[in-house]
Amino acid sequence: MSQVNTEAGQTRRWGREVELVPVAQHTCRVYRNRPRSLAELVLDSLRWGNRTFLVEGSRRISFAAHAKAVERVAAHLHAQGINAGDRVMLLGFNRVEWLLAFWAIQRLGAVAALGNAWWSDTETMHAIALVKPAVIVTDRALERMSSVDATVMSFDTLQDAATQRDASTEPLPDVTIAEDAPAILMFSSGTTGAAKAVEMSHRAVIANIQNLLVLTGRLPDELGPEHVATVSLLTVPLFHLSGIQISFSTLLSGGSLVFLEGRFSPEKVLRLIAQEHVRVWGGIPTMVSRVVEFEHFGGYDTSSIKSIPMGGAAVSPELRAKIQAAFPQIKKRVNSLYGLTEAGGVLAAASGEQLQGRPGCVGRPLPVVEIRIDKPDAQGVGEICARTPTAATRYWGETAPIADDEGWIRTGDLGKLDDDNLLYVVGRSKDIIIRGGENIASAHVERCLATHPEVLEVAVVALPHDDLGEEVAAAVVLRPGAIVSPDDLIAHASAELGRFEIPSRWWLRTEELPTNASGKVLKRELIGQWPAEDAVLDLDAPKPPTPSVNAPFGH
């Protein structure tokens, strides 16, 4: 492969030792030994040679073949005028060519803008206008992109370029990549308003993956040639942090990455687990729940699964119990990950053992992550703030940094730290229902209702109320054949919730809740779909007093 240069003093070795160094205008924890650019990671992966790296249907691509294909795709993009610092948007669903394009962009020192394949045309045009990519690679019909002021090419074109052995042998230009130069533009996954592009540097992305490699004991320098490959199933989009992280760790540890072709379904996941002997399946709680609840689950061999790390939400005790029953071989290895895009990915993680008996716990902060709780209430609950080298630099097109002057990022999540430095997530600060001046955490109500034996899924939202301002509303997906009334659920919730926390609006349904590409429930869409005639219940409870909106929530 051609030469990739980084800043003076860089080392290719990976390590666990942490030091304090200046990052931007503040001091931050970083790993002493670390790569300085993403382009180096493909070079690191060459040690795995002819091992199978990518599996997509009948396609099997080795690490050596992958590296060669990346060079060919980089040459193709360079021929289209792409150079260091240019932006290239990837707009499509998971496939081999998506990854080839990503690594080719890094090889050139360019910036990968990871577009959301589920966007509407309007949302797509907004993102393109925001980041102004020189080239867009997509799986959409090209006529849909005809008005775009950029070179547009299909992933199929890159597939052809990647396999052209007689392509130009002219060497690619040497590039010098600064550690704090932008590497990726990730679009925030908010469900309202126009998406923002979050700028992530090479330093931030590498610190994030190094955190995960330290956590899982798979630092490249600690793996010998006899290291047994791990087969990982990719069921989350590559344009989300959780998806790209899985691909990074697999690349560096000599494992195999299995693609889920098409849209997620429990049947597809189970078939691939059995067929490919998948060892690690990374998903989010909603996906995992739907798989273990699948009526034909028992008809598939899932004995190869050894780990199911999950992100997207705190894992409820009820879901952990279901997973442990469905996958007894991982009884004490169900993991939880917590993070967000602006903080560069994962901030805290926990093993199944750490989670036992700790509802809402998401684990301890990772080695280079500092966590503080801002403005805690009487129960120690406040907004979670993080300081870490994995943090994003800024929103693209804005000059102000995302972090404050001391390097702290406000997550928008409510949580607390216990005496063992374990982090608990209570809910989103913007996911708080204010009923008559009382703060109610939606996640708290959801966890309670989810323990009812006839409930499959639940989402709690705020609906407007003329008198109280907002009232608590619950959309509940019931098991097939279940005979449950709102009164039954109220009786169930009364054992745990304060009367003002119990939903007064109900939508009992059998269809799945609407979700986005990463499987998170689209609460605004749910509110928009709420039926005019639902079960409106009078709980006959006195109105709560009207304290300040910052009153401690709870009972």
CATH of the domain at 447: 3.30.300.30
Structure tokens at 504: 């007064």
Is the model's pLDDT at 4 over the cut of 70?
no
Lowest mean pLDDT among 275-279, 401-405, 526-530, 539-543: 539-543
* Edge-first strand listing for the sheet containing 256-259: 59-62, 52-56, 256-259, 231-234, 280-282
Q: What angle do CA 441, 364, 312 make, to 5 degrees?
A: 50
Element at 29 (helix H, strand E) = strand 26-31
Q: Does 268 fall in a domain?
A: no
Alpha-carbon distance of 58 to 416, in angstroms, equals 47
Kindly state the average pLDDT of the residues 330-352: 77
Is the CB of residue 182 less than 8 Å from the CB of residue 170? no
Structure tokens at 317: 């005790």
C-alpha dihedral (336, 428, 29, 251), degrees to nearest 10: 40
Alpha-carbon distance of 293 to 380, in angstroms, equals 36
Report how far apart, in Å, the C-alpha atoms of 206 and of each of 34, 105, 177 are: 8, 16, 13
Q: Quick: pLDDT tens for 113-128.
A: 999 888 878 878 989 9
Is the model's pLDDT at 203 over the cut of 70?
yes
Is the model's pLDDT at 552 over the cut of 70?
no
Could you give the residue ranges of the DSSP H alpha helices within 277-316? 285-292
**pLDDT confidence of residue 9:** 40
Is the CB of residue 473 less than 8 Å from the CB of residue 530? yes
- Which pTM does this prediction carry? 0.76
Q: Does 485 fall in a domain?
A: yes
Residue 155 — pLDDT band, cuts 50, 70, 90? very high
Is the CB of residue 508 less than 8 Å from the CB of residue 483? no
| Domain hosting residue 465, numbered range | 436-536
Q: Does 529 fall in a domain?
A: yes
**pLDDT confidence of residue 537:** 36
Residue written as tokens 């300081």? 387
Kindly state the average pLDDT of the residues 504-508: 95
* % of the chain with per-residue pLDDT over 70: 88
Is the model's pLDDT at 392 over the cut of 70?
yes
Residue 498 — pLDDT band, cuts 50, 70, 90? confident
C-alpha dihedral (72, 74, 75, 76), degrees to nearest 10: 90
Is the model's pLDDT at 378 over the cut of 90?
no
Phi and psi at residue 154, to the nearest 5°: -95, 155
More confident residue, 431 or 4: 431
**pLDDT confidence of residue 298:** 96
**pLDDT confidence of residue 536:** 40
Q: Quick: pLDDT tens for 286-304.
A: 788 889 999 999 999 999 9
> Please, which residues bridge with residue 424 across strands?
361, 416
Residue 5 — pLDDT band, cuts 50, 70, 90? low
**pLDDT confidence of residue 554:** 33
Structure tokens at 243: 């998806």
Q: Does 507 fall in a domain?
A: yes
More confident residue, 222 or 467: 222
Q: What's the 3-state SS for 320-348?
A: HHHHHHHCHHHCCCEEEEEEEHHHCEEEE
Alpha-carbon distance of 301 to 295, in angstroms, equals 14
Structure tokens at 98: 């998506």
Residue 358 — pLDDT band, cuts 50, 70, 90? confident
* Percent helix, percent strand, percent coil in the chain, to nearest 5: 30, 30, 40
DSSP state at residue 530: -
Return mean pLDDT, the chain. Answer: 86
Alpha-carbon distance of 209 to 37, in angstroms, equals 12
Residue written as tokens 């959409």? 140
Alpha-carbon distance of 164 to 72, in angstroms, equals 8
Q: Does 405 fall in a domain?
A: no
Kindly state the average pLDDT of the residues 145-171: 85
3 state SS of 271: helix
Kindly state the average pLDDT of the residues 167-185: 86
Residue 10 — pLDDT band, cuts 50, 70, 90? very low
Residue 543 — pLDDT band, cuts 50, 70, 90? very low
Lowest mean pLDDT among 6-10, 387-391, 401-405, 485-489: 6-10
Lowest mean pLDDT among 59-63, 380-384, 550-554: 550-554
Work out the burial of residue 430: count CB atoms within 10 Å of its CB; fewer than 13 is exposed, 13-18 middle, 19 or more buried. exposed
Element at 44 (helix H, strand E) = helix 39-45
Q: Does 455 fall in a domain?
A: yes
Phi and psi at residue 188, to the nearest 5°: -60, 145
Q: Does 26 fall in a domain?
A: no
Structure tokens at 121: 């045309």
DSSP string, 122-167: HHHHHHHHHH--SEEEESS-GGGGTT-SSEEEEHHHHHHHHT-TTS
Total domains in the chain come to 1
Alpha-carbon distance of 215 to 328, in angstroms, equals 23
Kindly state the average pLDDT of the residues 36-41: 95
**Nearest partner of 362 among 381, 341, 344, 346, judged by Cα:** 346
Q: Quick: pLDDT tens for 45-68.
A: 999 999 999 999 999 999 999 999
Is the model's pLDDT at 541 over the cut of 80?
no
Q: Biggest alpha carbon distance in the chain?
A: 79
DSSP state at residue 257: E
Q: Does 164 fall in a domain?
A: no
**pLDDT confidence of residue 551:** 30
Alpha-carbon distance of 347 to 369, in angstroms, equals 6
68-71: long-range contacts (C-beta < 8 A, 24 or more apart)?
69/100, 69/162, 69/163, 70/42, 70/100, 70/103, 70/104, 70/107, 71/1, 71/2, 71/104, 71/107, 71/172
Alpha-carbon distance of 221 to 54, in angstroms, equals 22
**pLDDT confidence of residue 192:** 40
Kindly state the average pLDDT of the residues 473-498: 92
> Please, which residues bridge with residue 461 across strands?
473
**pLDDT confidence of residue 195:** 74
Q: Quick: pLDDT tens for 58-114.
A: 999 999 999 999 999 999 999 999 999 999 999 999 999 999 999 999 999 999 999
**pLDDT confidence of residue 191:** 36
Is the CB of residue 476 less than 8 Å from the CB of residue 449? yes
